[in-house]
Amino acid sequence: MYIKEIKTRNTKTKKEYVKHILVEAIRTEKGPSYRTIMQLGELKLPKELWPILVAELESRITGQMQLDLPGIKLPLKVKNAANRAMERFTIRSTRQLKKKESSDPNEVTVNLNDIATTKHRSYGGEFVCHSIWNELGMSKKLAGLGFNPRERSLAEALIIGRLMDSGSELSTWNWIKNISAIGEMTEEDLFNTGLNGVYAIGDKLYEVKEEIEKHLLAKESKLYSGRETLYLFDITNFYFEGQELGNTLAQYGKSKEKRDDCPLVSLGLVVDSAGFPITSEIFPGNVSEPRSLSEILSKMGYFEEYLPSMAPTIVMDRGIATRENIDLLKEKNIPYIVIGRGPRNVYYLEEFENYRTDPEFKSITKNNREIRLKEVKTNDITEILCISEGRKEKEDAMERRWKERANEDLSSLQRSIRKGNIRIRNKIERRLGKIEERYSSLNKYFAIDLIENQKNPRLIADVVFCEKSVFDIGTENLNPLNGTYVIETTLKERTPEEIWSLYMTMTRVEEAFRCLKSELGSRPIYHQGAKRTQSHLFISVLAYHILINIEHKLNMHRDTRRWSTIRKVLKTHQRSTVIITDKQQNIHHIRITSQPEPSQLQIYHILKIKPSRDLKKYIVARRL
C-alpha cells in the first residue's frame, strides 16, 4: 500500500485542489495499476511521515497491533490523520467495496493467528426498541408528516438513544456515532451524523407533537384494547443547570426534588391505567398545579375521535384536586376519583377514632398491610374513608420523633434560663422562634409560657411547657387522623374496594415521572432556549412510549423487570467486524451480529421478535 497524491484544477476559477488516497498495486490484463483503498482528503502531513501513516492504516484495517506501543511512539499528527481516514473508510467499505472471488467465495483459507475483531457496537436493546418503533408505525407516520428517510432515521435514533444512553442530545450524538449499532437498523446509515442535525430533528419532532400523540394513542389503543378507561393526571417539574436567562420556561418555583435553588420547567402528563401516555403539556416552572388541569382537559378535546364513547374517569392527586377543578369536572360531566385539598378527614374524626370497632369499616390487605375502608354516600358523590395501618404506623412514629426532639429543645432552653446563661427576653424569644420554625405544629401540641422576672420585665426568670391533650384518645397523645385520607368520586356503582384500587393506580403516573427523570435521564436540563427545552422533554415522552410498550408486553407474561434491568441483560448482544486474511493475502471484513445468550433469547421470545445475523462481507484491501 502507498499514498497517492491527485491534483485537479477548476476550469473556471483555475484554482487547484489536492487530495490524497491510500492505494494498493494490482496487476490487470492491461498491466500494473492500482486500486483505491480509502480516501484521505487533503493530507497536512509531511511526506516523510507518509510511510508511518500507511503502516498505521494497514495495521488498523487488518486488525493487527497498532504502532503506538511502549517504546514506539506514534506521532500525534499521524494518529489524527489515521483517525480521520478510518472514519471515511467505514462508509466507503460498507457502500462501495465488493467481494470478487472465485466460484465459491465463502470458502477461503485463513491463518487463525491473524483473526481479529473491531467496531463492537451495542445491538440487543436497540433491536428491541427498533422492533417496537416499527410496530407503532412511527416511520410511516413521520413520512406522512414530511420527514425524509434521513430525518426519519435520525428521529428514531434520537428517541431510542434516550432509552439506551439516557442523557443530553450531545450524549446521544456520541452514542449514535461511537457506541451503538442503531445506524445499521435505520432506513439510512447515520455514520456521518452531525450534532446540529440531532438538535434540528428534535425541534422538528416537537413541531408535529399533536399529530404524533394522536397517532400513538390510536395505535396503542388498537394494540392493547380492553384497558380500563381511567386517565391519571399529575404534574412534575425538572430543574435546570445554569441561570437560563434566555429561557422563558425556566422559572423558580417549588421543586419536587428539593431543588428550589434552580430554575424549573413543569411537565403535565396524562396516562391510562396501564401507564400508556395519552397526552402531555409543558408549562413554565412556576405554573400553578390546579390551573394546569383546564389546559389539559381542553387539549384532550383534540383526541375525541380516539377516546372511548364514554368519558374516561379522571384520577388526580390532592395537589391538583381543588374545589374549582372538581366543579370543572362536574360541569363537563367527567367522572373523577380524587383526594381533595384540605383536611377532609377532620370532618370524619369520630369515625376514624372508632374505626377498629365500627363494623362498617371493611378490611382489605395490600402488600401484607391492612387497609380499612368505609363508604359514605351523599346526593351526587361517594366518599371512601380510608385508613392504612402501615401509613398510620409510619406517621405515628414520625410524630413521636418530632415531639421528642421538640421536648429536648425546649428542655435545653429551660436549662439555659435556669442556669442564668440567657435571661434577656428578646434573646429568649428569638431562640424560641427558631424552635417554632423548626417544628411547625409546636404551638398546636405544646403549651409554652415565659415567666417574667418580677424586678425587671425585660428579663425572663423561667420557661414552662407541657404537651397539650389535643385528642382525648388512647394512652398516647397521638393524632387519630394519622394514616387516614378521604377519596371522593362520582362512581357510585363501584365498591369501596374498587374505588380504592382505582385511585392507587396513581402510582402509574408517578412511575412514568420516575422513568422520565431516572431511566430516561431527562434531568437536569441544560438548554438555554424554551423551544429546545420543549423538544428535550418531548423526546423523553416519546421514548417513554417505547419503554411502556416493552414493559407492558413483558408484564403480560409475568415478567416484571424494569427497562433498566432489561437493558443490562441485552447490553452484551452486539455487532462486530471480524477481520481475516486469506491465503491470497486478501483482507476480509465480516460484519456480523453475535449469537444471543439464553437470557436474551427469552426476552426476544416474549416480545415475539427474532434478531438476524445480518451478515455483510467485504474485501477491503490486499496485504503486500
Q: pLDDT tens for residues 293-325?
A: 888 877 666 455 555 555 678 898 888 888 888
> How many CB atoms neighbour CB 140 within 10 A?
12
CA distance 259 to 238: 9
Task: List Cα–Cα distances, 606 to 59, 519, 551, 600, in angstroms.
Answer: 43, 22, 11, 10
Whether 450 and 460 have beta carbons less than 8 Å apart is answered as yes
**Of 20, 17, 67, 12, nearest in space to 39 by CA:** 20
Higher pLDDT, 91 or 592: 592
- Which contiguous run of DSSP H or E holds residue 466? strand 460-467
Task: Decide if pLDDT at 475 tops 50.
Answer: no
Judge whether residue 13 has pLDDT over 70: yes
Rounded-to-integer distance, Cα 349 and Cα 385, Å? 10
At residue 473, the pLDDT reads 45
The mean of the pLDDT values for the chain is 85
Supply the pLDDT for residue 92. Answer: 46
Which residue intervals of 37-179 are DSSP H helices?
50-62, 76-95, 124-135, 138-144, 149-164, 169-178
Spell out a b/e string for 390-415, using b for 16 or more CB atoms within 10 Å of the CB, else e.
Answer: ebbeebbeebeeebeebeebbeebee
Q: What is the pLDDT of residue 90?
A: 56
pLDDT tier at 158, thresholds 50, 70, 90: very high
Contacts of 185 (CB under 8 A, 6+ apart): 126, 127, 130
The Cα–Cα gap between 279 and 112 comes to 57
Rounded CA-CA distance 569/602 in Å is 11
What DSSP line would sit under 72-84, residue for residue? Answer: BPPPHHHHHHHHH
Q: How many CA atoms lie within 13 A of 557 on its CB side?
A: 13
How many helices and strands in the chain, by DSSP H and E?
Answer: 19, 18
The answer to whether the CB of 456 falls within 8 A of the CB of 450 is no
Q: Which helix (H) or strand (E) is 568 found in, with range? A: helix 563-570
Lowest mean pLDDT among 181-190, 296-305, 370-379, 595-604: 296-305
pLDDT at 101 over 60: no
pLDDT at 573: 95
For 71-89, the pLDDT digits (tens) are 557 788 888 888 888 776 7
3-state secondary structure of 62: helix
Read off the DSSP letter of residue 258: S
221 within 8 A of 552, measured Cβ to Cβ? no
In the predicted structure, residue 99 carries a pLDDT above the cut 80: no
pLDDT band at 94 (very low <50, low <70, confident <90, very high): very low
Sheet with strand 116-122: strands edge to edge: 116-122, 574-581, 586-593, 616-622
Task: Please state, for a pLDDT cut of 90, what percent of the chain lies above it.
Answer: 34
Lowest mean pLDDT among 107-111, 469-473, 544-548: 469-473
- pLDDT tops 70 at residue 624: no
Give me the torsion for CA of 599, 601, 602, 606, rounded to 10°. Answer: 150
- Helix 530-556 crosses helix 195-207 at what angle (to 10 degrees)? 80
Per-residue pLDDT, averaged over 479-505, amounts to 90
Tell me the one-letter amino acid at 57: L
Long-range Cβ contacts of 308-311 (<8 Å, 24+ apart)? 308/229, 310/229, 311/335
Phi first, then psi: give them for residue 246, nearest 5 degrees.
-100, 10
Residues paired with 622 in a beta bridge: 586
Bond preceding residue 596 cis, omega within 30 of 0:
no
Please give the average per-residue pLDDT across 389-418, as a whole number. 92
Per-residue pLDDT at 91 exceeds 50: no
pLDDT digits (tens, 9 = 90+) for 546-602: 999 999 999 999 999 999 999 999 999 999 999 998 888 888 899 999 989 989 999
Over residues 97-120, the mean pLDDT reads: 71
In this predicted model, which residue has the larger pLDDT, 38 or 547?
Answer: 547
Range scoring the smallest mean pLDDT among 109-118, 197-206, 396-405, 592-601 = 109-118
- Tell me the pLDDT band of 43, cut-offs 50, 70 and 90: confident
Alpha-carbon distances of 553 from 145, 432, 562, rounded to whole Å: 28, 58, 12
Considering 61-75, 205-219, 232-246, 316-330, the range whose residues carry the highest mean pLDDT is 205-219
Task: Provide, rounded to the nearest whole percent, the portion of the chain with pLDDT above 70.
Answer: 91
Mean pLDDT of 246-261: 85
Who's near 51: CB < 8 A, 6+ residues apart?
A: none
* Residue 232, pLDDT score: 86
- Angle of helix 389-419 relative to helix 425-438, nearest 10 degrees, comes to 170
Strand positions, DSSP E, 330-368 = 336-338, 362-366
Q: Among 56-70, 244-258, 564-578, whose mean pLDDT is lowest?
A: 56-70
pLDDT value for 156: 96
Q: State in Å, rounded, how far the first CA of the chain is from the last one.
A: 7
Tell me, what's the pLDDT at 95?
A: 40
